[in-house]
């Protein structure tokens, strides 16, 4: 797989899975746009890594839940590169609280970022892809969107389930020019997950047939495949990457 001269926008790519996806595309010669909302320092670190591969990198601060910021971000990418070849909708949040303590504000914040954010970025990037009659959109969902896991994350689970449904609708809307697919990771070894209680992590690891969490790069590899020409006939699908979660 070679993405030379391709322009790839990865939302929420200053850390975690998004960071690994952005770097992996740079390793395959793509020009990369890093989107972040809070941590400019981490975004700039990723930018330095990406540019070390001899490709161009642009960092853009934007809250994907806010339409004007998303529209401005896409226009900035077009102004800089003239096109968007691949959009990775990775930005997402999770707010874990007890069911009785969960408020409408938690739902609103989670759905606005995780689900409406995917719609907004796809809407504005998809417009330019349609004009070029070519493009790939890959949405990062979760096995939480397929299997109910805990009421601690019911709004997160609902948002990730919504992404799977939205993926199919977007594929239909943007046909025949844009492939839209989703990846549903299970547990991934990220900084955020390492902060969970050790007993809980041990119990969750025991549910995975491979007996370990995924490395972020293992999710990125699947994303790259879906963005490549090798996957040009895969459309409106969701691929689980969970090590055999049961």
- Asked whether 13 and 35 are in contact (CB, 8 A), the reply is yes
Q: Is 20 helix (H, G, I), strand (E, B) or coil?
A: helix
Choose the catalytic residue: 156, 177, 200, 233.
Answer: 156
Give CA torsion, residues 119, 120, 125, 128, to 10 deg. Answer: 100
Listed residue (227, 242, 142) closest to 184, CA to CA:
142
For residue 200, indicate whether it is catalytic: no
- Alpha-helical segments (H) within 37-116: 40-51, 67-81, 104-111
Residue 177 structure tokens = 């020019």
- Asked whether 132 and 52 are in contact (CB, 8 A), the reply is no
* Catalytic residue list: 156
């Amino acid at each position: 797989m070679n993405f030379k001269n391709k322009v790839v926008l990865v939302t929420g790519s200053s850390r975690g899975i998004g960071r690994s996806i952005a770097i992996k595309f740079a390793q395959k010669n793509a020009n990369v746009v890093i989107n972040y909302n809070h941590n400019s320092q981490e975004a700039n670190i990723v930018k330095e890594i990406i540019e070390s591969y001899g490709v161009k990198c642009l960092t853009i601060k934007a809250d994907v839940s806010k339409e004007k910021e998303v529209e401005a971000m896409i226009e900035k990418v077009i102004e800089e590169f003239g096109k968007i070849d691949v959009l990775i909708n990775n930005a997402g949040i999770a707010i874990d609280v007890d069911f009785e303590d969960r408020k409408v504000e938690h739902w609103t914040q989670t759905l606005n970022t995780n689900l409406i954010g995917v719609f907004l970025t796809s809407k504005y990037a998809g417009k330019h892809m349609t004009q070029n009659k070519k493009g790939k959109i890959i949405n990062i969902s979760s096995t939480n969107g397929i299997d109910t896991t805990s009421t601690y994350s019911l709004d997160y689970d609902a948002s990730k389930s919504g992404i799977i449904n939205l993926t199919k609708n977007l594929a239909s809307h943007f046909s025949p020019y844009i492939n839209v697919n989703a990846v549903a990771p299970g547990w991934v070894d990220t900084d955020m997950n390492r902060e969970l209680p050790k007993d809980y992590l041990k119990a969750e690891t025991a549910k995975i047939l491979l007996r370990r969490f995924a490395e972020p790069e293992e999710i990125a590899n699947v994303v790259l495949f879906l963005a490549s020409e090798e996957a040009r006939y895969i459309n409106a699908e969701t691929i689980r990457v969970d090590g055999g979660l049961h």
